[in-house]
Amino acid sequence: ELRLKQEYFLVAATLQDIVRRYKNVGYGHNKPGSSKRTTFEQFHHKAAVQLNDTHPSLAIPELMRILVDDENMVWDDAWEICQKTFSYTNHTVLPEALERWP
Element (H, E) at 52: strand 49-52
Percent of the chain scoring above 90 in pLDDT: 51
pLDDT at position 11 is 93
CA atoms of 79 and 74, how far apart (whole Å) = 9
The answer to whether 62 touches 15, Cβ cutoff 8 Å, is: yes
What integer pLDDT is reported at residue 28 of this predicted model?
A: 47
Per-residue b or e along 67-78, where b marks 16 or more CB atoms closer than 10 Å to that residue's CB: beeebebeeeeb
The mean predicted confidence, pLDDT, of the chain is 84
Q: Which residues pair with 49 in a beta bridge?
A: 86
